[in-house]
Chain A
Amino acid sequence: QSALTQPASVSGSPGQSITISCTGTSSDVGGYNYVSWYQQHPGKAPKLMIYEVSNRPSGVSNRFSGSKSGNTASLTISGLQAEDEADYHCSSYTSNSFVVFGGGTKLTVL
């Protein structure tokens, strides 16, 4: 099972916007609108931030948004804040096996 492809790291300054990509295939990201995004601070469990490509669970800041084009999904964080520094993981339903995760992206707030 091949993991979804994410950049290893991204960075941005406070107040800026950043985008993290998550690339898959037509069997997962491209074929279904079941992409989720998770935020993970060091030593903590992942927290669901986005589901179904662009939906935010209750309590998640509207600074977090999601989108998809073809086989690539994206997470955008606007108005970057220090507490946004964390690892971000994408996942998708896959017709090959059920669920697949990306390799994770480390976000650094400069």
Chain B
Amino acid sequence: QLQLQESGPGLVKPSETLSLTCTVSGGSISISSYYWGWIRQPPGKGLEWIGCIYYSGSTYYNPSLKSRVTISVDTSKNQFSLKLRSVTAADTAVYYCARLDYSTYPFDYWGQGTLVTVSS
């Protein structure tokens, strides 16, 4: 059974960089037809797509976050990562990693999510 697990600091200071890693187990990240994505959910609000990456390194980003986001992949470790620069309190959210089926675009497997708070 495929499993995804987010890891990283739960507290980030304003203006600094948020860094999270998603470790994939139970399957290979280097598989065709799937993208690997980051989604976030501010407290009490809806889901916001951040971006996706293919195992080859091809990426898509949410235009509203594109200037601050970098998603990378490490196939040797079966991991992909998120960096969000110049964070503010508005970036406080639960961050999820998930697998996207590239043929029909659903996120079919999700991590449990990790809360990241931006505060000094």
Contact = CB atoms under 8 A, between A and B. Distances in A.
A99 B105 CA distance: 8
Contact of B47 (A48, A98, A101): A101
Contacts of A1: 62-64
Interface string A32-49: 001010100000111110
A48 to B, nearest CB: 5
Contacts, number: 72
Nearest to A57: B108
Interface residues of B, number: 25
Interface residues of A, number: 28
A32 B64 CA distance: 22
Interface centre among A34, A46, A93 (most CB of B within 10 A): A46
A84 interface: no
Contact of B107 (A3, A6, A44, A48): A48
Contacts of B34: none
A31 interface: no
B60 A98 contact: yes
Interface in B20-41: 37, 39
A102 B107 CA distance: 14
